[in-house]
Every structure is written in structure tokens, then in C-alpha cells.
Amino acid sequence: MSIAPAMLSNRTFDELAIGDSASMQRQLTQQDIQLFAVMSGDINPAHLDADYAAATQFQGVIAHGMWGGALISAVLGTRLPGPGTVYLGQTLKFRAPVRVGDQVNVTVTVSAKDEAKRRVTLACSCVNQHGQMVIEGEASVLAPTEKVERPATTLPEVRLLAANGLPQLLQHVLPLGPIRVAVVHPCDALSLGGALDAHSAGLIEPILVAPRAKLEAVAADAGLSLEGIAIEDVPHSHAAAARAAQMGGQGQVQALMKGSLHTDELVSAVLNAEAGLRTKRRLSHCFVMQTPAYPRPFIITDAAINIAPTLEQKADIVRNAITLAHAIGVEQPRVAILAAVETVNPAMPATLDAAALCKMADRGQITGGVLDGPLAFDNAVSAAAALTKGIQSPVAGQADVLLVPDLESGNMLAKQLEYMGDAATAGVVLGAKLPIVLTSRADSRETRIASCAIAVLLAHHFRSNPP
């Protein structure tokens, strides 16, 4: 991408000669497309919806045509003729699409001068990194008559903040109807309030499994009402976890929701053979995330359950993530298997696992999605980064699922995106016969409600596709 000059200077009409030219380069990013859509109001799905765009004649997202036109305007206004130029007219012919990651070279060349009217005609072209003409046309301007030289204006930093996806998620989920959820030991204000909020939102019919006296004390202190809420009175958190798992195994509830007990305590109860909740798959956790820097929601797994998963365990983690992707409406999720590099290195076990998982998918051992790896994080989420490194992949730059090497890397990635990347988050555990809402004490009200909404989608998905 061309760096804007610190000083702007122009070429007056008298200084211009036929054949004079100026250029700038720009690499198209996903953020460029989003910002242009915000500015122009052009929300054509061919530019913003990867799934829709994949079915068009262009087979993928492309830039708005006038994005290239705006670059031509920038060259005319800042380079040739430069400050003081008055745009009179412009023709454009769009010869080929511009895709995310394409490097566009924009050139304007003086082709004619009208001495009487002080008008200048300039040939305009936009050429991609392959030498292909993507846009061409002709501009007519009034060239400046006075010399201008002044410092370039410092532009403000612009950050694209995605609209909170919770209202859209609720709009999609609420018509499905609420599900019965065993809320396990919600004996603090945050977890109890989260369950009651999800009930008020129309997502769940909660059954609070906890010591009744403790629940009533927490509710009184927090100003929360338990009127009309079912309570399963048990003596302590261990009993709450065991009873909730038993209720799940007997079909009395369609999901479990973690309260103020430790995650290990709940997971142990779910894995107890007597509960009847185990499947052939290993339990794993999925973060469903939406961040302003990425065009659609995505899944990070596993960042909460499996500390250092083996190859076999990673295969189950992938299968669980694909199941979740199907439940939230992604028919053929693209799974990026992350490592520090994008090549197989025998000294780096994560790259060997990635290669093996891809081969398992090739052999039909993992189905329902498209796998590729190893991929470094930048290549998994940035088409521009993948293009720069020459990576040809159906997953690179557009991953729906990010499989991390271990819990520590996944947890740090998810928390960084949440706290420094303005990501909206939901969390759920799969691998059992029903979804388990797993939230943290630090989670916001929105995260708790979104997690319940994801559990509703999974519960309804399991009715026709039992795990």
C-alpha cells in the first residue's frame, strides 16, 4: 500500500505536459470493503456475505466497483494534478473484479489539454498484481492555476465496530421456543441473574438445582425474584451437579447451565456413566465469537476443557465444532487447524497433527466440513496474508472454525479477542447428549444470554440429529 506523502504539492495547468503520470498502490482488505459499505450504504451481499458471494459468477466476495473509482479520485486530488484540482467528469469501465488481498496499482496519465478552458483530460487505469486491467476510464478536470504546497492532513483513526449480534441471534432463536435447562448451583448474583435474564428473554425454562435456602438468600441480597421459578433442592454443589446430570440423562431437561461451582465438578458429573449423558465423543468447549475485524461469526476450540489434546482428541474436538457450526446455520464450515507456521515441521507437533487431521478428513473419518492446516493465525483469517504467502486453500482467509493447538493458546486467543478486539462471545460444551452452557464469572449479561441462545439452537438441532 502506498504511504501518503507528508507534503502535498500540485502541478499547475502550465506545468502539465502530455504523458505526465502519477500512481499509487493499494491492497484491498476486508475492512476496506466494510468501511466503503458503511460510507456509501451499499450493502449488496456480493460484497459482504461470503456464502452468498460464493454462489455468484465471481465465486467470492469482491470490492465495490466505486472503491476503485475512489482511488482514482485520490490520485487526482493528491498527486496529479494535485491540490486545487476540480473534478468535472469521469468515465469508468469495470474489466475484472477486485478481491480481498489484490494489490491494485492506480495510474492517471495526462492525455489532452484545453488551453482555452484550462481543462485537462487524464487516462485512468487500475491494474492488479497479475498485470490485469480491472478498471479503466477517463477523467476531465480543471487543473489548478496556482502553486500549492502544504502538509498533508493527518486523518483520524477509524475503527469498525460490528453491531451487537445479540438482537439478531435472539430474533433467529426465539421462534424455536424455550428449552428446559438445569442451572447447576447458581449461588451467586451473577450466575443466578444470568439464568433469570435468559428466562426473561424467552430462551429457557430454568430449574435451579441448588440449596434452596442459599438461593433465596442470594436472590434477596441481589434484589432478584424467584417467583414462578422451579427449584430442585439439594444440599451442596456436588449434589447439584449429580442431580442436574441425572435430570439430563432422563430427558427432564434439554441443556445444563453452569452456576457458581467449578467446571471440573460439573464435567465429572456429566461423565459419570450413571448419568447417561456420555457419547462416543470427548467433551470439548467452543467459543462462538463475533469481532469487528472479521466479516462473520466464528468458533474457537478448545479453550476450556482439554488442556493438551492428543490427535484422537483433536479429531473429536473438530467433530464437535462442526456439529455446532451446522446448528448455527453453516452448512459446510471451513476449519483452520492452527499452528505457528503454515508448513509441516517434524519438530512442531501441532503441524503434524494438522496434517493428520486433514488426511483423516480426506479419508472420511471427519465429515461435514472442509479442513486445512497447518495454518498460522494470520493465514486463517486474512485472505491478504494468505495471498502474500502464496497459500492456495479453500479455508485460508475465511475460516469458520479455528482449532487451536492446546487450551492455553486457545484461552489466550479468545480472551485477547474479547478484551482487546471488542469481540462478542458465547460459550458452550459439546460431546454429551445435550449442550452445556459454560460461562465465566467475568462474563457479561450479553455473553450469558448469547450462550443460552446457542444452547437453544443445539438442543433443537439434536432433536433431529441426536449426538
Residue 296's pLDDT is what? 83
DSSP string across 254-309: SEEEE-SS-HHHHHHHHH-GGG--B-SSPPEEEEEEE-TTSSS-EEEE-SSS-SS-
Residue 287's pLDDT is what? 95
Judge whether residue 386 has pLDDT over 60: yes
186-202 average pLDDT score: 93
Sign of CA pseudo-dihedral 59, 60, 61, 64? negative
Residue 166's pLDDT is what? 63
Percent of the chain whose predicted confidence (pLDDT) is above 90: 78
Q: Confidence class of residue 24 from pLDDT cuts 50, 70 and 90?
A: very high
Is beta strand 401-403 parallel, antiparallel or unpaired with respect to 334-338? parallel
28-35 average pLDDT score: 88
365-382 average pLDDT score: 95
Residue 233's pLDDT is what? 96
Residue 222's pLDDT is what? 92
Least confident of 28-32, 166-170, 312-316, 395-399: 166-170
Q: Confidence class of residue 3 from pLDDT cuts 50, 70 and 90?
A: low
Complete domains list, the chain, with CATH: 10-30+59-144 (3.10.129.10), 163-279 (3.40.50.10950), 281-431 (3.40.718.10)
Judge whether residue 158 has pLDDT over 80: no
Judge whether residue 160 has pLDDT over 70: no
Residue 237's pLDDT is what? 94
Q: Confidence class of residue 142 from pLDDT cuts 50, 70 and 90?
A: very high
Express each pLDDT in 91-138 by its tens digit: 999 999 999 999 999 999 999 999 999 999 999 999 999 999 999 999
Express each pLDDT in 100-112 by its tens digit: 999 999 999 999 9
